[in-house]
Chain A
């Protein structure tokens, strides 16, 4: 490297230094600290004490930890396919040329405008077993509604149902890309007499596959990190911890018991899990994505 090149390098680094400093202090440092604390006994008030892999060994033996992990994975396996399928369906219907299309679009996006805490409060009333709207409607039809949030069998389906109410974000992303599919492809398939289902499967889905992939990855990460709704609606995870989520349990250890080391270990495991699942998803479907010749 000549003197000139070195000078250019330094100037370049100086120009991107706001980003470098921000990245180091707000991303790299917290990550490294979490990793370090996961090997410590740390209660915030006193200095961290190195305990080696004790936190991780405790985690393996902690059946509540396994329960929360199982619950979170179960939530993701139900919510993710359902949410992606429903949002794609609604988005396709919302691109048809019908009257009042913008009103329908607004309606489906409306839930995303309500702060998450507020929507959790609304659904807390909706799910109330005695006074809630859901059970009243069921009672009118002669069905004895379940105790949605307090019944161990129904707490998880309730939370999934509520999450499906907020698929507006995914719908908007699908809508944006559905308009980019070239019209002439549809026209030529119309000439060939292709049915709605064929056009959907052979043209729409391949053409928007990068966005389906994006929604899958974002949805996967989001549903494994879901926190606010379960924390407000079933703060302790309900009876038998049937709706205890990973992040809620993590929060409990971090800020109720002040077990920062234990919580950091949980955070590291969740990070690795999300990393691994995202990598698996990428590997398995990357070759099936169509990037329009890029």
Chain B
């Protein structure tokens, strides 16, 4: 009796481990594109294509005892050692909203469409089908 109970417990545990590992592996596959999207969203433009890093960083060089960020069009002496610092570009979000010139209007249109469709689908159609009874 004791032995068979133990075997059953072991079986249940193996089953659990199997379920967890499959679900976890799948969840990772489903999440990766998201994480990549998010990490690209906070990268400076020059890293969006060329960088294999998951983290957004910025290159700095030391000039006269100060760390100066290396921009796109700035000339940097070749021998200068570059220092990498992790620096998410939150400004990208502001830039994206500004690039859509009528962002509030777009948002308003989308929300209005969504609101009316949901209200119509859930309440009006049901009310209608039930013969206008509440």
Q: Which A residues are within 8 Å of any B CB, using their own CB?
A: 18-19, 90, 93-94, 96, 98, 104, 107-108, 110-111, 114, 119, 122-123, 125-126, 128, 131, 133, 136, 165, 196
Contacts and interface: CB of A to CB of B under 8 A. Distances in A.
Contacts of A94: 23
Contacts of B15: 196
A110 B36 contact: no
B36 to A, nearest CB: 5
Contact of B33 (A93, A165, A196): A165
A108 B26 contact: yes
Task: Name the residue in A18, A93, A119 with the highest tally of chain B Cβ atoms < 10 Å from its Cβ.
Answer: A93
A165 B30 contact: yes
Given A122-B33, A125-B40, A196-B15, A136 B52 contact: yes
Contacts of A19: 128
Interface of B: 15-16, 19-20, 22-23, 26-27, 29-34, 36-37, 40, 49-50, 52, 128
B119 to A, nearest CB: 16
Nearest to B48: A125
A107 B24 CA distance: 10
A96 B19 contact: yes
Contacts of B27: 104, 107-108
Contacts of A114: 34
A209 to B, nearest CB: 24
Say what secondary structure dominates the interface of chain A.
Answer: helix
Nearest to B125: A19
A98 B40 contact: no
Given A90-B26, A93-B23, A96-B19, A131 B33 contact: no
Given A93-B22, A94-B23, A125-B40, A107 B31 contact: yes
Given A98-B16, A196-B15, A123 B33 contact: yes
Residue in B26, B30, B31 whose Cβ sees the most chain A Cβ within 10 Å: B30
A96 B49 CA distance: 41
Nearest to B51: A131
9 contacts: A18-B128, A19-B128, A90-B26, A104-B23, A107-B31, A110-B34, A111-B30, A123-B33, A125-B40
B55 to A, nearest CB: 14
A30 B32 CA distance: 42
Contacts of A98: 16, 19-20, 23
Nearest to A19: B128
Given A108-B26, A136-B52, A93 B31 contact: no
Contacts of B29: 165
A19 B20 CA distance: 49
B122 to A, nearest CB: 17
B16 A133 contact: no
Contacts of A165: 29-30, 33
Contacts of A126: 33, 36
Contacts of A96: 19
Given A98-B23, A126-B33, 6 more contacts: A96-B19, A110-B34, A122-B37, A133-B36, A136-B52, A165-B29
